[in-house]
Chains A and B, each alone.
Chain A
Amino acid sequence: MTDDVTAKPDPLIHPITRLSICGLLAAGADWVEFAALRDAAGISDSVLSKQSRVLEEAGYVEVRKGAVGRRPRTWFRLSAEGRRAVQGHLAWLAQLEQAVTAGTREVQQARPVTGDRNQPRRVPPPLLGST
């Protein structure tokens, strides 16, 4: 991601299905075919159709329809506006992840020795892998 991205949440990308679609389209591919996007996101045809329409209407995603032989094929890609929004949202999520990880570490460091009945409850380590 570029440095000039402003980390801010985008309510349109916030739902996890739309985040998946946008995040996959922003990964580096130019156009992604319907089936490839559906399989990678692990969602159904109808969910992808519905959510991609919302993103298309918002101007975040471009849709191109074509055919290979007699089989219709639909391709998606992020628009420039969509790319900016996704980058901002992902940067915001990354900040959130860092904050959660740092908070968990602080709690773990402040934990008293084992056996103290007044010690705070143990906080499990973060499930997230840091990149």
Chain B
Amino acid sequence: MPDVAGDPAALERLRVQRNRLADRIRPPWWYLPGAAIAWAAAFSGPFTLRYLPRVDYWATGLAQLAVWCLLQWGLTRVTGVKVGPRPLRVLRDGLFYYRPGRPALIAILVVSLAAGEIEFLLLRQGLFAAAVVVAVVAVATEVALQRAWLREIRQDLRNGGGAA
């Protein structure tokens, strides 16, 4: 029977197919600029709080979340593969239930919390320029980490690392 995986060559064939699937997960041209805009909105939060108190801080946070969801939706539509943590599963199983790309995702969260906190401290000290520099560096770092996150997901798909 030619259609039977009776030999271990089936695994080699599966590796090739997984490579093909992983290769689909390449961000389109608008993905990283979109991510940069979303992160710029996030790291402008401390400035908004201090200098524009009339602007709703939580509204900008929600806008950032909406941009993030839009980016993920667009990526799914372009690639045909849904990757990354799903919002409902996150509520049920926690943020880190999704295994592929987990280290990069943790790094994204750590950088966002640390950079936000440093910005608050610098602005409280009146060091506006230093806070701007931190924000710019944080945006660049987050975009690079987001790229790394997709790369890790691709790698995990190749290895079947997300299988459990």
Contacts and interface: CB of A to CB of B under 8 A. Distances in A.
Tell me, yes or no, whether A binds B: yes
Interface stretch (A20-28, A53-61, A110-118): A20-28
Contact of B17 (A24, A94, A97): A24
Nearest to B99: A28
B5 A16 contact: yes
Interface residues of B, number: 40
B10 interface: yes
Contact of A129 (B12, B77, B82, B100): B12
Contacts of A29: 21, 81-83, 157, 162
Contacts of A31: 81-82
B104 interface: no
B15 to A, nearest CB: 7
A2 B99 CA distance: 12
B104 to A, nearest CB: 14
A19 B79 contact: no
Interface residues of A, number: 42
Interface string B1-44: 00111111111111101101110100000000000000000000
A131 B21 contact: no
B10 A19 contact: yes
B129 interface: no
Nearest to B98: A30
Interface string A79-119: 00001001100100110110010000000000000000000
A41 interface: yes
A15 interface: yes
B94 interface: no
Contacts of B9: 127-128
A31 B80 CA distance: 8
A27 B163 contact: yes
24 contacts: A1-B163, A14-B4, A16-B10, A20-B17, A23-B14, A23-B17, A24-B21, A27-B156, A27-B162, A28-B99, A30-B83, A30-B84, A30-B98, A32-B21, A32-B81, A33-B80, A35-B80, A37-B80, A40-B18, A40-B20, A68-B77, A87-B163, A97-B8, A129-B15
